[in-house]
Structures are given as structure tokens and as C-alpha cells.
Structure 1
Amino acid sequence: MKTKIAIVDDHELMAKALSGLVEKFEGYDVIFEVSSGAALIQRLQINMIPDIVLLDVSMPDMDGYEVSFWLKSNYPEIKVLALSMNDKEEAIIKMLRNGAGGYLLKGCKPQELKHALESVSQKGFYYTDFVTSQLIKSLTTESNGNPADQLGLNDREKRFIELACSDLTYVEIADKMCVSPRTVDGYRESVFLKMNIKSRVGMVLEAIKLNIVSLGNI
């Protein structure tokens, strides 16, 4: 049975190009293309249920963040693969927090899109180079005891992680913690080293995986 794909993108040309590309991949069937979150919801309400939604992040009215969160709340079985021109970590973190299983830049190669679809379909997630290979491998492992203590995180570093899992910038985190941005840079470097990750996205995912923070609190 083919994996059913829905494409949500307000640029019709992009949606058509994506549809044509996905249809060339063996084992996938694009069941519809729509230009908005509202149109997607209408299709779902008449029982046109895809396995994976290829979701544009930047859309008017209901953007990708809102659509992804709505899907997570109402159709959690539908997997979301975000597509965007925005490569900022804050955007990636927000999409992952709102339920997306992966985040691709629109300039990616067709082979990467195919690999992402396979990974999301089979594993439920796909992470690019923003997340280290070691983090990907560790996503399915279990941790015994207090993860923060095992990693050697102190109270200030744990507080930094909690704030970093929000939409705050590093400067705003420094203000919240009543320290200088340089001090926050030190917390970040120390946390990255202890958690063995290389990006803010990786830190957020690792913190969620180890229950250092919970999805309900971010």
C-alpha cells in the first residue's frame, strides 16, 4: 500500500512541483494539494486522511506552526514534514515543538526529500545536520536515574536549558537570568559539551528525550 501524501503550500507552483516530484518516488501517492491550513482541515473533515503532510511554514492566516499544532492536537497519527526557506534555529525549534517530525529547507535535493519521507514514514522523524548523528541514535534509548545529574548539569545550566526551549533569544535569556550575554554564552558552551550536541535544536530535542524539560512546559 502506498504512503498517502498531502501538500500544503500557498505557492501553487511550488505545490505542483512538489507533487510531481513525490509522485515519481516509488511507494508514494499525493492525494491532494491545498494552499492553506483551512483547506487542509476541510479535506480532513471529509475523511481524506494522509499519512504525511508536507507543510509550508510561511503561509498567511494560518501558518505552518499553527497547522502543525492543530494536527498534533486533532490528528496525532498524521506525520508532518515541514518545508521552509527559513533556516533559523528558532523556527526549527518551534516547528518541532508544535509537532513536526522533520524540517527541510526548500532548496534541498530531491534525494534528501525522498530520504526524509522514508524516515518520517518509518521512524516518525527526520533530522538534518542541525542535529548530530549521535543524538539521532540516542533518541530511542532509555536513561536511568536523573538525566540532568548524570550529565553533570548544575542548576544554572538546567535553568538555561528550560529557557532555551522557548522562543526567547539568547539575549532575552540573559535578561531573564539576570546575567550578561557573555555568561549565557558560557552556559551554552558548557551545556553543548555535557550533552554532546552542536546546536540549539539538538539541545531541545535531547532535553525533551531525557525529560529534562517536558513538552507541556515549552
Structure 2
Amino acid sequence: MNKTIIIVDDHRLFAQSLQILVNSFEGFQVIHAFKNGKELVNYFQEGNVSPDLILLDMRMPVMDGMATMSWLKENHPKQKVLTLTVDQEDETIIKMLRLGARGYLLKDIDPEEFEHALNSIDRTGYYSNKTISDALSRDERKEKYEELTDRELEFLGHACSELTYKAIANEMHLSPKTIENYRESLFNKLQVKSRVGLVIFAIKEGICEV
């Protein structure tokens, strides 16, 4: 039996083309196409059967993808959703995944990878790709950056210079032991093992320039 799919996208031409593409894949069939999240909500509230998968756009009038995903998490938490959009902002990707999206694809995806994503979600419940892994990696680094204290950031800036640890202690008017504590704290928070690792992190995050 074919896996049922609902498309939620306000671009009618794209939605129609997407429906033709999905229906050409073995084992999948589009049963409805809605223009926004509100139409999808109405579908559920009328007591209709949940599809196997929802293909959800982000930017839509009336009720956008984020609001739709929030509603689904609250009312149909087990519903599988694959985000299919042009929005590639890290914050958007992370929020959608945290709301329960099973995957995140950009609309310029190759048909072969798109079919692979559908099959992956069908078999395993999830689909991951470089867009997702890169966003998660950057989000993890951002969280680490936000954990740093002002003094640790100051020390990190000095660590990018040619100053010795003793000279950094003098510059910051702290004892060498306190500087050592800052260094070990940063090693732990940033999961690096050397001053070189600290410098690489600082350069990537734009904390210092060399």
C-alpha cells in the first residue's frame, strides 16, 4: 500500500509539480495539497485520517510553517513532517527540528535525494543531511560561545596574541594560577586540548583576528 502524503505550500505551481514528482516515486501518493497551515489544521479538526507524511513549506500566509509545526507538536506529536523550503537560516532549521520535524530540505534538492529522504523517513523515522548537520554544529558552537564569561572571552582574546600565559596574567592583573584556571575551563567548555585549539575556535567565531 502506498504511503500517503499531504503537501502544504502556498505556491500552487510548485505544489502541483511536487505532487507529480512524489506520485512518480514507487510507494508514495499525495492525497491532498493545502495552501497554508490553517487548511491543514481544518483537515485534522474535521476528523480526517493522518497522512504518513506531511511536506511542509515555511513561508506561507495565514499560518506559516513554524506555527503549523507548533500546532502539530501540541495536537499530533507523532505526525511525521518533512520541511521543504527555501529558508536555510540556522535558527529556523533548529527550531523546526526541536518542534519535531523529521527532516529539513531546501527546494533546490535533486529529485534523487528527495526520494531518498522520503524513504529514509518511512524506514527510520528521520532524515539527516549536510544542511541539518551544519546547522546543528553551528548551533552547538553558538551555545558554547554563550557559556563563556566576560573574563574568559577576554582571556581568549589574549590567547590569540603572542603573549605568554604569564604575560597574559600581568595584562589582566590576575595571578598565573587564575589564568591557568581560565585556560582549563575553556579547554573543557570548548572541548579543545591546546592553545592552538583555542585560537582556531576564536578565529572561527570571529572573537579575534590573526
Q: Residues 173-184 of structure 1: matches in 2 within 5 Å? A: 173=146, 177-178=149-150, 180=153
Paired residues in the alignment total 160
Change (3 A) 1:57 1:131: closer
2:3 corresponds to which residue?
Answer: 3
1:131 is displaced (CA, Å) by 5.0
Q: Deviations over 1:129-184 (max 9, x none)?
A: 1455xx9xxxxxxxxxxxxxxxxxxxxxxxx959739xxxx6xx48x954659959
Supply the RMSD in Å over aligned alpha carbons: 3.4
1:164 counterpart (115, 137, 143): 143
Q: Is the 8 A contact 2:93 2:132 kept in 1?
A: no
1:125 corresponds to which residue?
Answer: 126
1:71 corresponds to which residue?
Answer: 72
1:28 is displaced (CA, Å) by 0.6
Letter in 2 for 1:19: Q
Q: Aligned equivalents of 1:6 and 1:118: distance in 2?
A: 15
Change (3 A) 1:24 1:164: same
Change (3 A) 1:183 1:45: farther
Q: Residues 146-165 of structure 1: matches in 2 within 5 Å? A: 164=143
2:12 corresponds to which residue?
Answer: 12
Task: Report the identity percentage.
Answer: 41
Q: Residues 53-68 of structure 1: matches in 2 within 5 Å? A: 53-68=54-69
Q: Residues 2-151 of structure 1: matches in 2 within 5 Å? A: 2-46=2-46, 47-131=48-132
Q: Aligned equivalents of 2:122 and 2:154: distance in 1?
A: 41
1:69 is displaced (CA, Å) by 1.7
Query: Following superposition, which runs of at least 4 residues in structure 1 exceed 6 angstroms of deviation?
Result: none
Letter in 1 for 2:105: L
Change (3 A) 1:27 1:182: farther
Structure 1 length normalisation: TM-score? 0.63
Q: For structure 2, which runs of at least 5 residues remain unmatched after alignment? A: 161-185, 194-210
Q: Which structure exhibits the higher relative contact order, with contacts defined as CA atoms closer than 8 Å and separated by 6 or more residues?
A: 1
1:107 is displaced (CA, Å) by 0.3
Q: Aligned equivalents of 1:123 and 1:182: distance in 2?
A: 45
Structure 2 length normalisation: TM-score? 0.65
Change (3 A) 1:41 1:164: same
